[in-house]
Chain A
Amino acid sequence: MFSGIKTVAQFRRKYSEAIKSDKWKSVVGLEVHAQIMSESKLFSGASTKFSSPVNNNVSLFDCSIPGTLPVLNKRCVEAGVLTALALNCHVNPVSWFDRKHYFYADMPTGYQITQQRAPLAVDGIFSFEVLPVGSQKTSYKKQVKIKQLQLEQDSGKSLHDVDRSLVDLNRAGIPLMELVFEPDLKDGEEAAALVKELVNILQRIKTCSCKMEEGAMRVDANVSIHREGEPLGTRTEIKNIASVRGVASAIQYEIGRQIKIKDSGGTIINETRGWDAATKTTVAMRDKEVQQDYRYMPEPNLPPLHIAMGPVERGCVNADELRKLIPELPEETRERLKELGLTHEQTIILVNDFTLLSIFEEAAQKRKINYKHLANFLINDLLTILNKNEVEPNDINCSSDYYGEIVELLQNNKINRNTACMLVQEIVSGNQIRPTKIVQEKNLFQITDIAELTKLCQEVINENEKAVRDYKSGKIKALKYLMGAIGKKSKNLADMAKANDILKTLLHK
Chain B
Amino acid sequence: MVTGDVKLIGSWASVFVMRARIALNLKSISYEFLQETYGTKSELLLKSNPVHKKIPVLIHDDKPVCESNIIVQYIDEAWSSYGLSILPSQPYDRAIARFWAAYVDDKWFIALRSILTARGEEEKKAAIAEVEERTDHLEKAFIECSNGKPFFNGDHIGYLDIALGSFLGWWKVVELDANHILLDETKTPSLFQWAERFCNDPDVKPLMPETTKLAEFARKLFPKPQA
Interaction A to B: no
